[in-house]
Amino acid sequence: MSIRILLADDHTIVLQGLSRFLREQEGIEVVGQAKDGLTIVELARDLTPDIIIMDISMPGLSGIEATRRIHSEKPGIKIIGLSMHAAKRYVQEMYRAGARGYLLKDCDFDELVTAIQTVAAGGTYFAGEFAGIAAQEAAHDGSTVKRG
């Protein structure tokens, strides 16, 4: 059974690149794409993917707020933040909104696939530089964080 993925990013080239790469991976199916936060919330409702790869800075509704809404309405959908923002506050806000992973856009595709597989299996995946931040947040809710 494939891991069903939705992609959210306001840059067409990023969406196309991620989609093309992920479609080449065995066991992963890209079921939709969105260029803004409102559309990704609607697609999440309609398509109920396993995982959403979520940009933070998008028009209409930020990735953080979209994550919060999706997590509230459909907590079974897992969200991984993929952003250019490396500041601690973005990682904390995404975690608190319900994201179970966070990577920077300069990560390797292999790391993204590892994050997808880890989160799909019920774990969390925060890239190495963010694992400490996520671990602090997780201490409040009793979960564990895998270091990337």
Residue 35 neighbours by CB under 8 Å, 6+ apart: 8, 9, 10, 12, 15, 58, 59
Q: How far is the first Cα of the chain from the last one, in angstroms, to the nearest whole number?
A: 25
Instruction: Please tell me the pTM assigned to this model.
Output: 0.89
Left (φ > 0), alpha (ψ -120 to 50) or beta: where does 125 sit?
Answer: beta
* Per-residue model confidence as pLDDT tens for the chain (148 residues): 899 999 999 999 999 999 999 999 999 999 999 999 999 999 999 999 999 999 999 999 999 999 999 999 999 999 999 999 888 899 999 999 999 999 999 999 999 999 999 999 999 998 877 766 655 655 555 555 444 5
If we measure between CA atoms, which residue out of 6, 69, 60, 12 comes closest to residue 37?
A: 60
Domain architecture of the chain: domains with CATH: 3-147 (3.40.50.2300)
